[in-house]
Chains A and B, each alone.
Chain A
Amino acid sequence: MKIGVFVCHCGSNIAGTVDVVQVAEAAKSMPEVAFAKDTMYACSEPGQQGIIDAIKEMGLDGAVVASCTPRMHGSTFMRTVARAGLNPYMFEMANIREHVSWIGKDKVANTRKAIDLVRMAVAKLAQNKPLYSQSFSINKRVMIIGGGVAGIQAALDCADGGLQVVLVEKTTTIGGKMAKLDKTFPTVDCSSCILGPRMVDVAQHPNITLHASAEVDEVFGYVGNYQVEVRKKATYVNWKTCTGCGACMEKCPSKKSKDPFNELIGTTTAINIPFPQAIPKRASIDRDSCIKFKTGKCGICAKVCPTKAIDYDQQDEMITEEVGAIIAATGFDLMDWHVYGQYGAGRYPDVITSLQYERMLSASGPTGGHIKRPSDKKEPKTIVFIQCVGSRDKSVGRPYCTGFCCMYTAKQAILTKDHIPDSESYVFYMDIRAPGKMYDEFTRRAMEEYGAKYIRGRVSMVYPQDGKMIVRGVDTLAGAQVEVEADLVVLAVGAEGAAGSAQLAEKLRISYDSYGFFMEGHPKLKPVETNTAGVYLAGCAQGPKDIPSSVAQGSAAAAKVLSLFSKDQLQSDPQVSKVDLKRCVGCMKCAITCPFGAIKETEVRGEIKAQVIETICQGCGICTSTCRQGAIQLQNFTDNQILAEVNALLSSETEEA
């Protein structure tokens, strides 16, 4: 075999701490190596051409590129060798950037390690075989998990593009956090006025199937062919017959039910429709506060329902949806601010969250759009907004900036002045983060036109005294401790991944961080992709972001799905497991351990054998380590190849010794 080795400088990224010329020189004496050379940027156009030319001129059978991570450029170089006429799988990559130059400063040691990695790649490549992809057909339906503004945007874009869309929403209505907002920055336009029509579009679109009050239970399959088990949670109301007339709500005697849509400001009835514009506009029963469920007596809603839709015996229903791609748009939740004992940890009724304040501002909220402080229902005159509660605070495990609080706080200060002209708003902030179109101008307006008093500093303590909330903070610009006697305190609580996001990520086999946000495929270049083919992200599920960014991501994820579905067939990755029929004894242990169901039983000349379904196998290799006979092997990652790599590494050590 004639192998070519190409060692990349990556400018100074690699060459700064690795002697790339020496690595290329060392490669020349490795077994099977017919050509070795250093190159400034292997991925650049001239760099790739250099590889193609060498393959053609030297008649090489395979190429090793020693550069960066294969996640970055593996597919780039596979296309390069293919353009030179080789099978793209006759290629190996040695990662001497992330694994060497970026993590060590000792040039001698780095160079030695780089040579070892190249030697291993060469040893493996020497046993590579040409592999060929297979085609498989795809199911051009898409599931979107989460019906907030990002999910709605993605659903409408996909549906308008002709795809069949299944939208799964955990609560009983779509709309997400945006539906709870009164107005939106920086235009101060009515949130439900702009979101409401989109929600109706979802309900009426012929290509969209909406499952509200539903959650993803399990996910099987792979890109192009997912099977998703969806649990439709019992609402105790038959939604096929419920018309959303609201007669049940009017008569329900249990009026102290928790009202999560209104952020627990005020209460609702045990059977309820969360808000007038809800989609679907259907009633559901909160079991915990329903008298019928608690005592067996009542049943008033069933009596008054004109369509006899109440069904106290309703059970959760499991359905399976088959889709080719999934967009996770599960949004965010506020972090649990009760860790802030210095702000009362929930003991003081007149210390509320920004989202609770938003519900007070909303005309359809529990106070009818009047700002009233919870303790005595009086109109507050002095309102203090505290920013960065659960943002940029390592002491509560939230080091990141939520990013949108500065803007909504400015909006709330403006709205406060509109609602109560003789009110005064104080905003305690650390830095004003307003990098968006017309954003900084907006925060300036809050100060200049609406008179909001911005005080640069954190608040150490809030406590009640004589009917007021004493807010003790600091004005770091004046260099002084400050106290404000407030009527109401609004905490700009930071965001974290929505409850249950980690569990969903496990089901989708995508990565997530310790705050419950899903990891994108690449922080710059793959912002809506994940590391699992066919699973995409949109909105705050990926990280905190404002409405325009969430909408943009919804559209971006939809574009990705439309692009994926623009082909009728997908190419499978041929680096999959393969069974050596002579060695296989038909024990089928491999089939038991396979997480993808990619191995089936077959009969060859009367004997049971395992068979890999190539389009389902994901190449994880669990079967190969299960098989006692060594009969099932991952193509181009065979036991022999891995041993060859180990031997290559050890042989270099014995040489040195």
Chain B
Amino acid sequence: MSQKLRYAYYPGCSGQGTSKEYEQSTRAVCEALGMELVDIPDWSCCGSSPAHTVDHRLSSALSGRNLALAERLEGVSAILTPCPSCLTNLKVSAHKMKDPEFAAEVNALLDFPVRNTLPVKSILQAIYEDVGPDALRPKAVRLLTGLKLAPYYGCIMNRPPHIMEFDDHENPIAMDQLMEAIGAEAVTFPLKVECCGASFGVARRDIVQKLSGKLLDTAASNGADAVVTACPLCQMNLDLRQDQINVANNTSHNMPVFYYTQLIGLALGMTPSQVGLEKLEVSPMALLESLPARAEAQAQAAKKPASKGAQS
């Protein structure tokens, strides 16, 4: 890469807690891919869903403080965040503040104003667009051949399209292609952008059990060994609450739910603990250990028709 990739980085609150392994693997993967992440100094909460459900000025101000802080950094090309919820808040805030009247109302709540000069992107978008599957492929030292993944993007990574401006809003493919670049298989997963129940886990657990349960059912029925996701909230609902879901729906899923950065990290040669695999609730270790044997079986199966067929 001739050009230095340097970004302002917004980690998001859950990265300090329930999605530590996402934060950890994101930093490790970005470093390995030559993407320099400059932490936004003294970043604060974006407001997440709760703020925008109360008031859009408050929500935009909480996000806007971070936009303004990022704008003071030098030599960064964009603001990146791993979390789709933070991403949405930051992007909606920047989008709405294109209206000068609204911007004035928001800036009145802030110590220093937002200039709205930097694009906001997800880490996924930056890896997909600035590095890309083709550049990732040769860097993979350990292909995850045989691993069947349901690629789950969550509801707001790509929607609404006029604000998110990334990938297809009905059938996104960025994560599919990155996973295929490291040897895994992305199975058909028609519910890529369906909602998992979001932050209702605490107040209305029944909602998450139904919606996330459906995601797990669909992933399983399409032959996935695991789900791969890019969202801390989705991951928590599907992984940490998987037992709750099983009990409520009378199912017996035992499906690991990875962050895509963990899998890229593994492919780049990192150890399981470097990407925080031990922090996942449903342990993926047995599945990962079975991969070499599966890869072998796949290779055998691939050879068969060739030896029978007339093709040379």
Q: Which residues of A contact B (CB under 8 A)?
A: 341-342, 345, 347, 463-466
Task: Check B171–A466 contact: CB distance below 8 A.
Answer: no
Distance between B193 CB and nearest chain A CB, rounded to angstroms? 9
In the complex, besides A341-B168, A341-B170, 4 extra interface pairs with C-beta distance below 8 angstroms are A345-B171, A347-B171, A463-B190, A465-B221
Contacting residues, chain A, for B171 (C-beta < 8 A): 341, 345, 347
Contact check, B168 vs A465: say whether CB atoms are below 8 A apart: no
Q: Is B191 in contact with A463, judged by CB distance below 8 angstroms?
A: yes
In the bound complex, CA of A341 to CA of B221 (Å):
22
Closest A residue by C-beta to B190: A463
By the criterion CB–CB under 8 Å, are A345 and B170 in contact? Answer: yes
A466 to B171, CA, bound (A): 19
Q: Knowing A465-B221, A466-B221 touch, does A342 contact B190 (C-beta < 8 A)?
A: no
State the CA gap A341–B171 with chains docked (Å).
Answer: 7
Tell me the smallest distance from the CB of B38 to a CB of chain A, in Å.
36
* A465 and B190 within 8 A (CB): yes
Give the shortest distance, in Å, between B90 (CB) and chain A (any CB): 25
- The distance from the CB of B197 to the nearest CB of chain A, in whole angstroms, is 16
**Residues in A whose Cβ lies below 8 Å from that of B169:** 341
Contacts of A465 in B (CB 8 A): 190, 218, 221
Q: Is B188 an interface residue (CB 8 A)?
A: yes
| B191 CB contacts on chain A under 8 angstroms | 463
Chain A residues with CB below 8 A from B218, complex form: 465
Task: Report B59-88 residues with CB < 8 Å from chain A CB.
Answer: none
A342 contacts B188, CB within 8 Å? no
Which residue in chain B gives the minimum CB-CB distance to A347? Answer: B171
**B221 contact set on A, CB distance < 8 A:** 465-466
- A464 touching B190 by the CB < 8 A rule? yes
Q: Which residues of A contact B168 (CB under 8 A)?
A: 341
**CB < 8 Å: which of A341, A345, A464 contacts B188?**
A464
- Pick the most buried of A341, A342, A347: most chain B CB atoms within 10 A of its CB: A341
The distance from the CB of B166 to the nearest CB of chain A, in whole angstroms, is: 14
User: What is the CA–CA distance of A464 and B187 in the complex, to the nearest angstrom?
Assistant: 13
Q: CB-defined interface of B171-204 with A at 8 Å, one 1/0 digit per residue?
A: 1000000000000000010110000000000000
Point out the residues of chain B lying under 8 angstroms from A463, CB to CB. 190-191
- Rounded to whole Å, the gap between the CB of A485 and the closest CB of chain B is 13
In the complex, which of the residues B168, B169, B170, B191 has the most CB atoms of chain A within 10 Å of its own CB atom? B170
List residues of chain A with CB within 8 A of the CB of B170: 341-342, 345
Shortest distance from the beta carbon of A636 to any chain B beta carbon, whole Å: 52
B residues bordering A, Cβ < 8 Å?
168-171, 188, 190-191, 218, 221
Cα separation A347 to B188 with both chains bound (whole Å): 11
**B170: nearest chain-A partner, CB-CB:** A341
Measured between alpha carbons, how far is A105 from B66 in the docked complex, in Å? 50
* Distance between Cα atoms of A463 and B193 in the complex (Å): 12
Cα A84 to Cα B188 with chains together (Å): 80
Q: Smallest Cβ distance from A460 to chain B, in angstroms?
A: 11
A133 to B277: give the CA distance in the assembly, Å.
91
Q: How far is the CA of A342 from the CA of B169 in the complex (A)?
A: 9
CB of B224, distance to nearest CB on chain A (Å): 13
User: Which residues of the other chain, B, contact A345 by a CB distance below 8 angstroms?
Assistant: 170-171
Cα distance A232–B226 in the bound complex, in angstroms: 58
Whose C-beta in chain B lies nearest to the C-beta of A342? Answer: B170
In the complex, how many angstroms separate the beta carbon of B217 from the nearest chain A beta carbon?
9
Question: Using Cβ atoms and an 8 Å threshold, which residues of chain B touch A464?
Answer: 188, 190
Q: How far, in angstroms, from A464 to B189 measured CA to CA in the complex?
A: 9
Contacts of A347 in B (CB 8 A): 171
16 sampled A-B residue pairs with Cβ under 8 A: A341-B168, A341-B169, A341-B170, A341-B171, A342-B170, A345-B170, A345-B171, A347-B171, A463-B190, A463-B191, A464-B188, A464-B190, A465-B190, A465-B218, A465-B221, A466-B221
Measured in the bound complex, the distance between the Cα atoms of B188 and A345 in whole Å is: 14
Complex: chain B residue closest to A463, CB-CB:
B190
Listed from nearest, the 10 A-B pairs whose CB atoms lie closest are A341-B170, A463-B190, A342-B170, A341-B171, A341-B168, A466-B221, A464-B190, A465-B221, A345-B171, A465-B218
Q: How far is the CA of A246 from the CA of B171 in the complex (A)?
A: 44
Looking at A342, A345, A463, the one whose CB has the most chain B CB atoms below 10 A away is A463
* Separation of A464 and B188 alpha carbons in the complex (Å): 9
| Residue numbers in A under 8 Å from B188 (CB-CB) | 464
Smallest beta-carbon distance A458→chain B, Å: 15
Q: Which residue of B lies closest to A340 (CB)?
A: B170
A466 to B221 CA separation, bound complex (whole angstroms) = 7
Measured in the bound complex, the distance between the Cα atoms of B168 and A341 in whole Å is: 8
Closest to A339 in B: B170
Residue of B nearest to A341 (CB): B170
State the CA gap A483–B169 with chains docked (Å): 22
Q: Which residue of A lies closest to B221 (CB)?
A: A466
Closest B residue, CB atoms, query A469: B190
Q: A347 vs B190: C-alpha distance in the bound complex, in angstroms?
A: 11
Hey, which chain B residues are within 8 Å of A342, CB to CB? 170
Give the complex CA separation of A437 and B170 in angstroms: 41
How far in angstroms is the closest Cβ of chain A from B184?
A: 20
Min distance, Cβ A350 to any Cβ of chain B, angstroms:
13
User: Complex: how many Å from CA A341 to CA B169?
Assistant: 8
Kindly state the separation between the CA atoms of A224 and B273 in the bound complex, as whole angstroms.
85
Q: How far is the CA of A463 from the CA of B169 in the complex (A)?
A: 15
Chain B residue nearest to A470 (CB atoms) is B190
A373 to B47, CA, bound (A): 49
- Bound-state CA distance A465–B218 (Å) is 8
CA distance A653 to B218 in the complex (A): 75
**Complex: how many Å from CA A342 to CA B191?**
10
CA distance A345 to B168 in the complex (A): 11
Q: How far is the CB of B78 from chain A (nearest CB, A)?
A: 26
B89 to chain A minimum Cβ distance, whole angstroms, is 25
Q: In the complex, what's the smallest C-beta–C-beta distance from B12 to chain A, in angstroms? A: 28
Q: How far is the CB of A484 from chain B (nearest CB, A)?
A: 15
Per the bound structure, the CA–CA distance linking A465 and B188 in Å amounts to 10
**Chain B: minimal CB distance from A317 (Å):** 43
Nearest residue in A to B194 (C-beta to C-beta)?
A461
Cβ-closest chain B residue relative to A343: B170
Q: In the complex, A149→B218 CA distance in Å?
A: 48
CB distance from B276 to the nearest CB of A (A): 32
B220 CB to closest chain A CB (Å) equals 11
From residue A469, how far is it (CB to closest CB) to chain B in Å? 10
> In the assembled complex, how far is the CB of residue B201 from the closest CB belonging to chain A, in whole angstroms?
22
